[in-house]
């Protein structure tokens, strides 16, 4: 029983030291302003959407729409 208690205490101590050190190092890095500049995996590029090819139906529909608009405007 004493061994389990000792092992659990050592594990908690090791975790506290590990995460405490990581927190301190992160605080120092943020304070120096080396955040995004040193992280090469951070990108600011935005992917451009791929243009949808125009189908024949859409092309015919838009031509018909243009003809209807031109005739209604010239008729007035």
How many domains does the chain contain in total? Answer: 1
State the pTM of this model: 0.42
The answer as to whether 67 is a domain residue is no
State residue 4's pLDDT score: 94
Q: How many CA atoms lie within 13 A of 5 on its CB side?
A: 2
10-64 pLDDT per residue, tens? 999 999 999 999 999 998 888 887 555 556 666 666 667 666 665 666 666 666 6
State residue 12's pLDDT score: 97
CA dist., res. 71 & res. 76, Å (int):
9
CA dist., res. 20 & res. 31, Å (int):
17
Q: Which residues contact 55 (CB under 8 A, 6 or more apart)?
A: none
Question: Does the pLDDT of residue 71 top 60, yes or no?
Answer: yes
Q: Which domain holds residue 16?
A: 1-35
The answer as to whether 48 is a domain residue is no
Q: Which residues contact 36 (CB under 8 A, 6 or more apart)?
A: 42
The answer as to whether 23 is a domain residue is yes
The answer as to whether 43 is a domain residue is no
The answer as to whether 75 is a domain residue is no
Mean pLDDT for 5-11 is: 96
């Amino acid at each position: 029983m004493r061994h389990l208690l000792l092992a659990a205490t050592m594990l908690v101590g090791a975790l506290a030291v590990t995460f405490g050190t990581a927190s301190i190092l992160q605080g120092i890095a943020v304070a120096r302003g080396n955040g995004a500049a040193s992280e090469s995996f951070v990108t600011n590029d935005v992917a451009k959407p791929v243009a949808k090819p125009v189908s024949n139906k859409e092309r015919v529909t838009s031509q018909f729409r243009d003809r209807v608009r031109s005739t209604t405007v010239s008729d007035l």
